[in-house]
C-alpha cells in the first residue's frame, strides 16, 4: 500500500528522501523549499515569494495523486524569522481559501541553505474516486 512519489521536475533529492509518500488514502509530503532543479534558491530571503513557489510546487505534488489544497489535513511551516508569519499569512489564505487545515508554524535557526527562509510540509487525504 506504500507508494513513493518522485517528480523529475524537482531534480534529484539532496538526501535520502522522496517528494511524497502515499499510504492508503493519505499523502505525506516532504518539506518543500523554494529552489530550482539544480538546488539554487529562488528569491533569496523573500519569504512571500518563496512561499508562493512552495505552494506552486505543492499544488503539482497534490495533483499527481488527485488532490487539491482542499484535501490538505495538516500543514507544518518552518520560518527562519517568525516575523515573516504576518507576511505569508495572506498567501496561505489565498491558497487555502475556506479550507482550514490543522497547522503548526515555528521559527527555526536555519534551513538546508542560507538563502532559504521558508519550508512547508503537509499531510493530505486522497479523495475516493467516484
At 13 the pLDDT is 82
pTM above 0.85, yes or no: yes
Whether the predicted pLDDT of 9 surpasses 90: no
**Which residues in 72-126 belong to E strands, given as ranges?**
72-79, 102-107, 118-125
Q: Is the pLDDT of residue 32 over 90?
A: yes
High-pLDDT (> 90) share of the chain, % = 86
Angle at 103 between CA 116 and CA 28, to 5 degrees: 75
Please answer whether residues 56 and 84 qualify as being in contact, where contact means their C-beta atoms are separated by less than 8 angstroms: no
Confidence of residue 112 (pLDDT cuts 50, 70, 90): very high
- pLDDT band for position 12 (50/70/90)? confident
Angle, to 10 degrees, between the axis of helix 85-96 and the axis of helix 47-64? 30
Distance between CA atoms of residues 69 and 100, nearest Å: 10
Quick one: DSSP state of residue 35?
B
Amino acid at each position: 500500500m506504500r507508494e513513493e512519489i518522485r517528480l523529475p521536475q524537482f531534480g534529484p533529492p539532496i538526501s535520502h528522501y522522496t517528494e511524497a509518500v502515499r499510504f492508503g488514502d493519505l499523502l505525506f509530503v516532504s518539506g518543500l523549499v523554494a529552489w530550482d532543479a539544480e538546488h539554487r534558491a529562488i528569491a533569496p530571503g523573500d519569504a512571500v515569494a518563496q512561499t508562493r513557489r512552495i505552494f506552486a510546487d505543492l499544488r503539482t505534488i497534490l495533483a499527481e495523486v488527485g488532490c487539491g489544497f482542499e484535501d490538505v489535513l495538516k500543514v507544518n511551516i518552518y520560518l527562519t524569522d517568525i516575523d515573516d508569519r504576518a507576511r505569508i499569512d495572506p498567501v496561505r489564505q489565498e491558497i487555502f481559501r475556506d479550507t482550514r487545515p490543522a497547522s503548526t508554524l515555528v521559527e527555526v535557526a536555519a534551513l538546508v541553505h542560507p538563502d532559504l527562509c521558508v519550508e512547508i510540509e503537509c499531510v493530505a487525504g486522497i479523495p475516493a474516486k467516484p
